[in-house]
Amino acid sequence: MTLLDRYLEAVRKTLPRNQRDDIVAELRDILLSQIEAEETSQRRRLTDDEIAAILKRFGRPMTVAARYGASSYLIGPTLYPAYLASLKLVAWVLGPMAGLSLLLSVATSDNPFRQTAWHLLLFTVIGLAHFAIITLIFARAEKGTAIGTHSDSWDPRSLPSPQRLEPPARSQLICSIVLMTFYLLLWIGAFPVNAWVARLNAWVGSTPLPYGFAPVWDAVSPLVVALMLTSIVRDIVSLVRPHWLTLRCYIGLALHVGALLVLIRLVRADAVFVVTDPAGIGADHIGHFNQLFFMVLFVAVSGAFISTLLAVQYVLRHRTSYA
């Protein structure tokens, strides 16, 4: 992909959708004409550096797109790069601080689960407050456009190559189908796991754990089965129709949302493990056991939430870029 293609792709992203192809075609023609005129006058092909200089002179992709779009915005194309850089800076400062503070408090606290929850809440509030303040400052600066000076410190060569949807490899799909089928069979009890565990305990001479699964697992089971089946069907469809990528993309998003719902349901339960021993053996430790698992679940929920957001962004990006 040439520098010009990358530049036009960056412009395309923020253009009004109904005119996108037409404007990009026209911009391509305009820029190619400039490049050709320059090549004619110099009697040689232009280097990437020279093409980059032409693109730089033409303007930042967002600025160029804004000239064609009648849309109004809170933070315009001139200030947006500085706004983004400010948000990134705050994230880079707050992120490690939050991580360090969380580690210290968890290591020194009697109730690590509560401390984790409290710290995550605290830093979410601090992060949102910073986000709001920075957004307000830039929105104010946008209104008084006198502050918005045009920066020339961008380089067209740093524009990213657009990520296009690619069908997954067949081997990857087959592995995924086999693994997911195995997990599904395991989940619905197709394998005599309890008998295997009992036999293993008898063989090594240890007593079985006095814990079992809490009723919440039965509550989430239909959704888990549905998610696994959907995943298997999605991969089979991808094997047969590798280029049905949009469908795969949307199903992937639905799977992320489903997994997040399952995890949230588990986190909200009173307990995920219960004592199964009639004599109440293990009752002293069940609280700690659950607490430990809740911590793991809490991290999993955060991870699932972030990955769902990324999946939404992925779907939106490909929807807007290639629809």
Interaction site with another protein (CB under 8 A): 23, 25-27, 29-30, 32-34, 37, 58-59, 63-64, 67-68
CB of 9 to another protein, least distance (A): 18
Query: Closest by alpha carbon to 195, among 182, 208, 180, 179?
Result: 208
Q: Which of residues 68 and 294 has its CB atom nearest to another protein in the complex?
A: 68
Q: Which of residues 55 and 259 has its CB atom nearest to another protein in the complex?
A: 55
CB of 133 to another protein, least distance (A): 32
Query: Closest by alpha carbon to 173, among 125, 111, 242?
Result: 242
Query: Closest by alpha carbon to 23, among 6, 9, 2?
Result: 9
Q: Which of residues 77 and 258 has its CB atom nearest to another protein in the complex?
A: 77
CB of 63 to another protein, least distance (A): 7
Residue type, 124: T
Q: Looking up tokens 């740093």, which residue turns up?
A: 158
Residue type, 107: A
CB of 41 to another protein, least distance (A): 12
Q: Which of residues 55 and 227 has its CB atom nearest to another protein in the complex?
A: 55
How many whole angstroms separate alpha carbon 11 and alpha carbon 227?
38
Altogether, the residues listed in the chain come to a count of 323
Q: How far are the Cα atoms of 121, 133, 258 from residue 128, in angstroms, in the given order?
A: 11, 9, 26
Q: Which of residues 26 and 48 has its CB atom nearest to another protein in the complex?
A: 26
CB of 17 to another protein, least distance (A): 16
Helix (H, G, I), strand (E, B) or coil at 103: helix
